[in-house]
Amino acid sequence: MIKHEIKIAFTEYNSLAELDTADQIICREAVKAMEHSHSPYSKFKVGAALLLESGKVIRGSNQENAAYPSGLCAERTALFNWGANHPDDPIQTIAITAHTDNFDILKPVTPCGSCLQVMAEYEKKQGAPLKIILYCIDGPVWVTTGVASFLPFMFFEERLVAQ
Protein backbone atom coordinates (compact mmCIF):
# COMPACT_ATOMS: atom_id res chain seq x y z
CA MET A 1 0.00 0.00 0.00
CA ILE A 2 1.15 3.50 -0.79
CA LYS A 3 -0.37 6.47 0.97
CA HIS A 4 -0.38 9.72 -0.99
CA GLU A 5 -1.03 13.19 0.34
CA ILE A 6 -2.11 16.24 -1.62
CA LYS A 7 -1.49 19.74 -0.29
CA ILE A 8 -2.71 23.01 -1.67
CA ALA A 9 -1.32 26.45 -1.09
CA PHE A 10 -2.86 29.87 -1.45
CA THR A 11 -2.23 33.29 -0.02
CA GLU A 12 -5.01 35.08 1.83
CA TYR A 13 -5.12 38.86 1.92
CA ASN A 14 -7.43 40.79 4.24
CA SER A 15 -8.62 43.12 1.51
CA LEU A 16 -8.16 44.25 -2.06
CA ALA A 17 -5.94 47.10 -0.84
CA GLU A 18 -3.18 44.59 0.02
CA LEU A 19 -2.82 43.45 -3.61
CA ASP A 20 -0.53 45.06 -6.17
CA THR A 21 -2.08 47.52 -8.61
CA ALA A 22 -2.46 45.07 -11.52
CA ASP A 23 -4.28 42.55 -9.32
CA GLN A 24 -6.55 45.26 -7.89
CA ILE A 25 -7.45 46.34 -11.43
CA ILE A 26 -8.34 42.83 -12.63
CA CYS A 27 -10.48 42.30 -9.49
CA ARG A 28 -12.36 45.53 -10.27
CA GLU A 29 -12.85 44.24 -13.83
CA ALA A 30 -14.48 41.12 -12.37
CA VAL A 31 -16.85 43.39 -10.42
CA LYS A 32 -17.68 45.24 -13.67
CA ALA A 33 -18.37 41.90 -15.34
CA MET A 34 -21.09 41.19 -12.76
CA GLU A 35 -23.08 44.13 -14.18
CA HIS A 36 -23.97 41.89 -17.13
CA SER A 37 -24.92 38.85 -15.06
CA HIS A 38 -28.23 37.33 -16.07
CA SER A 39 -29.23 35.72 -12.79
CA PRO A 40 -32.98 36.23 -12.32
CA TYR A 41 -33.44 32.80 -10.71
CA SER A 42 -30.60 32.51 -8.20
CA LYS A 43 -30.08 36.27 -7.71
CA PHE A 44 -26.39 35.26 -7.33
CA LYS A 45 -24.23 37.40 -9.61
CA VAL A 46 -20.77 36.16 -10.55
CA GLY A 47 -18.15 38.04 -12.53
CA ALA A 48 -14.87 36.84 -13.98
CA ALA A 49 -12.13 38.79 -15.71
CA LEU A 50 -9.12 37.49 -17.60
CA LEU A 51 -5.93 39.50 -17.93
CA LEU A 52 -4.12 38.48 -21.11
CA GLU A 53 -0.40 38.77 -21.79
CA SER A 54 -1.08 41.68 -24.16
CA GLY A 55 -2.84 43.61 -21.38
CA LYS A 56 -6.29 43.00 -22.87
CA VAL A 57 -9.08 42.18 -20.42
CA ILE A 58 -11.91 39.75 -21.17
CA ARG A 59 -14.96 39.78 -18.92
CA GLY A 60 -17.54 37.08 -18.31
CA SER A 61 -20.64 36.85 -16.14
CA ASN A 62 -22.97 34.03 -15.22
CA GLN A 63 -25.86 33.58 -17.64
CA GLU A 64 -28.82 31.68 -16.21
CA ASN A 65 -31.69 30.13 -18.09
CA ALA A 66 -35.10 28.87 -17.00
CA ALA A 67 -33.90 25.46 -18.23
CA TYR A 68 -31.14 25.37 -15.58
CA PRO A 69 -28.61 23.19 -17.39
CA SER A 70 -28.65 25.67 -20.28
CA GLY A 71 -26.95 28.42 -18.28
CA LEU A 72 -23.23 29.09 -18.08
CA CYS A 73 -20.91 30.21 -15.30
CA ALA A 74 -18.98 33.48 -15.45
CA GLU A 75 -15.62 31.74 -15.62
CA ARG A 76 -16.54 29.61 -18.63
CA THR A 77 -18.19 32.57 -20.35
CA ALA A 78 -14.88 34.46 -20.16
CA LEU A 79 -12.70 31.44 -20.91
CA PHE A 80 -14.69 30.32 -23.96
CA ASN A 81 -14.57 33.90 -25.26
CA TRP A 82 -10.77 33.73 -24.91
CA GLY A 83 -10.59 30.33 -26.60
CA ALA A 84 -12.74 31.49 -29.52
CA ASN A 85 -11.23 34.94 -30.01
CA HIS A 86 -7.79 35.27 -28.38
CA PRO A 87 -6.14 31.83 -28.13
CA ASP A 88 -2.72 33.19 -29.13
CA ASP A 89 -2.71 35.78 -26.32
CA PRO A 90 -1.96 33.77 -23.16
CA ILE A 91 -4.04 34.24 -20.02
CA GLN A 92 -1.98 35.53 -17.11
CA THR A 93 -4.65 36.01 -14.45
CA ILE A 94 -8.29 35.20 -13.82
CA ALA A 95 -10.17 37.09 -11.11
CA ILE A 96 -13.55 35.87 -9.87
CA THR A 97 -16.04 37.58 -7.57
CA ALA A 98 -19.69 37.28 -6.60
CA HIS A 99 -22.52 39.26 -5.03
CA THR A 100 -26.08 38.71 -3.92
CA ASP A 101 -28.57 40.92 -2.13
CA ASN A 102 -29.96 37.82 -0.37
CA PHE A 103 -27.10 37.34 2.13
CA ASP A 104 -23.59 38.50 2.94
CA ILE A 105 -20.75 36.73 1.17
CA LEU A 106 -18.02 36.50 3.79
CA LYS A 107 -15.31 34.57 1.96
CA PRO A 108 -14.25 34.18 -1.68
CA VAL A 109 -16.44 32.05 -3.91
CA THR A 110 -14.61 29.21 -5.62
CA PRO A 111 -15.25 28.04 -9.20
CA CYS A 112 -17.37 24.94 -9.76
CA GLY A 113 -15.78 21.70 -10.93
CA SER A 114 -16.77 22.28 -14.57
CA CYS A 115 -15.13 25.70 -14.58
CA LEU A 116 -12.01 24.31 -12.93
CA GLN A 117 -11.76 21.59 -15.58
CA VAL A 118 -12.04 24.20 -18.36
CA MET A 119 -9.40 26.32 -16.62
CA ALA A 120 -7.17 23.23 -16.46
CA GLU A 121 -7.67 22.57 -20.17
CA TYR A 122 -6.65 26.11 -21.08
CA GLU A 123 -3.64 25.99 -18.75
CA LYS A 124 -2.55 22.88 -20.62
CA LYS A 125 -3.28 24.48 -24.00
CA GLN A 126 -1.19 27.55 -23.26
CA GLY A 127 1.51 25.60 -21.43
CA ALA A 128 1.45 27.84 -18.35
CA PRO A 129 -0.55 27.99 -15.13
CA LEU A 130 -3.04 30.75 -14.44
CA LYS A 131 -2.79 33.14 -11.54
CA ILE A 132 -6.17 32.74 -9.85
CA ILE A 133 -7.62 35.50 -7.67
CA LEU A 134 -10.82 34.84 -5.74
CA TYR A 135 -12.08 38.21 -4.56
CA CYS A 136 -14.64 38.63 -1.79
CA ILE A 137 -15.95 42.17 -2.09
CA ASP A 138 -15.29 43.91 1.24
CA GLY A 139 -13.63 40.75 2.50
CA PRO A 140 -10.63 38.47 2.05
CA VAL A 141 -8.91 37.72 -1.23
CA TRP A 142 -7.37 34.33 -2.04
CA VAL A 143 -4.55 34.08 -4.57
CA THR A 144 -2.92 30.97 -5.98
CA THR A 145 -1.17 29.82 -9.11
CA GLY A 146 -2.49 26.87 -11.06
CA VAL A 147 -5.79 25.03 -11.13
CA ALA A 148 -4.26 21.99 -9.39
CA SER A 149 -4.63 23.91 -6.11
CA PHE A 150 -8.41 23.52 -6.49
CA LEU A 151 -8.69 20.43 -8.68
CA PRO A 152 -5.81 18.08 -7.91
CA PHE A 153 -7.36 15.22 -9.88
CA MET A 154 -8.26 17.11 -13.02
CA PHE A 155 -9.14 14.93 -15.98
CA PHE A 156 -6.43 14.54 -18.60
CA GLU A 157 -5.99 11.55 -20.84
CA GLU A 158 -2.80 11.94 -22.81
CA ARG A 159 -3.98 9.46 -25.45
CA LEU A 160 -6.84 11.82 -26.34
CA VAL A 161 -4.96 14.10 -28.71
CA ALA A 162 -6.09 16.23 -31.62
CA GLN A 163 -5.25 14.53 -34.91
Catalytic residue numbers read 75
CA dihedral of residues 154, 15, 20, 108 (deg, nearest 10): 20
Separation CA 143–CA 140 (nearest Å) = 10
Kindly list the distances between the CA atom of residue 106 and the CA atoms of 98, 147, 155, 158, in Å, as whole numbers in the listed order.
Answer: 11, 22, 31, 39
Q: How many CA atoms lie within 13 A of 83 on its CB side?
A: 14
